[in-house]
A = this chain, B = another copy of it.
């Protein structure tokens, strides 16, 4: 049952594991960056703007958190499948079903609601007068967002990024359904783990689990350490 240290080392250097690790890191980072790029302005808008139906909009944004991953995956599959949206995206080269891009899409939509919600709450704590001073000194609203709101949101951005990254790298069901979870092609670490449990290959499964934990630990640790600089 318990694989030896040598087993684990061999497993780590296996092609499957190497590919899965690289793919996990790559998609995880790309997705996290994309998530934050969207979460910052959306969270800001939700915090600063007041509009009719804001409560409903906020609720809709929060909602996907409550979806089991498989359901979210199915929703995405339906959205990007044989629908006009899916076809339009497909025609500009954005093919999300059973592709690596699909992994990013799956992770993105899984993590986005968390990050948006955290950023909204963070911007609530930032005094709008600070932003106003910046604008009175000649900075546009957008420049002010970049130079004042975002730096002041440091701690919240950190929390948001950590959660987004962890959620992206760990998401399983969404990736499985949308990207197919096929061996050596759309295989991230959680999928490797799942596939190898299914293959009955407990050594590989355990190795991918360990790797997942290790990689997450290092990445999150690095993120958390940047706090000192904020």
User: What is the distance, in angstroms, from A3's C-beta to the closest C-beta of chain B?
Assistant: 16
User: What is the distance, in angstroms, from A87's C-beta to the closest C-beta of chain B?
Assistant: 21
When each residue 45-81 of chain A gets 1 if its CB lies under 8 Å from chain B and 0 otherwise, what string results? Answer: 0000000000110111011011111110000000000
Q: Which B residues are in CB contact (< 8 Å) with A71?
A: 190, 193, 209, 212
When each residue 7-28 of chain A gets 1 if its CB lies under 8 Å from chain B and 0 otherwise, what string results? Answer: 0000000000000000000000
In the bound complex, do residue A216 and residue B66 qualify as a contact, i.e. CB atoms below 8 Å apart?
yes
Q: Does A38 contact B (CB under 8 A)?
A: no
User: What is the distance, in angstroms, from A142's C-beta to the closest C-beta of chain B?
Assistant: 23
Chain A contact residues, majority secondary structure: helix
Q: Does A30 contact B (CB under 8 A)?
A: no
In the bound complex, do residue A213 and residue B66 qualify as a contact, i.e. CB atoms below 8 Å apart?
yes
Q: Report A154-201 residues with CB < 8 Å from chain B CB.
A: 155-156, 158-159, 162-163, 165-167, 169-173, 190, 193-194
Q: Does A112 contact B (CB under 8 A)?
A: no
Q: Does A124 contact B (CB under 8 A)?
A: yes
User: What is the distance, in angstroms, from A195's C-beta to the closest C-beta of chain B?
Assistant: 12
Q: Does A31 contact B (CB under 8 A)?
A: no
User: What are 17 A-B pairs at a CB distance below 8 A?
Assistant: A55-B225, A59-B221, A62-B224, A63-B166, A65-B166, A66-B165, A66-B170, A66-B213, A67-B212, A71-B193, A71-B212, A121-B155, A121-B159, A122-B122, A125-B125, A125-B156, A172-B173
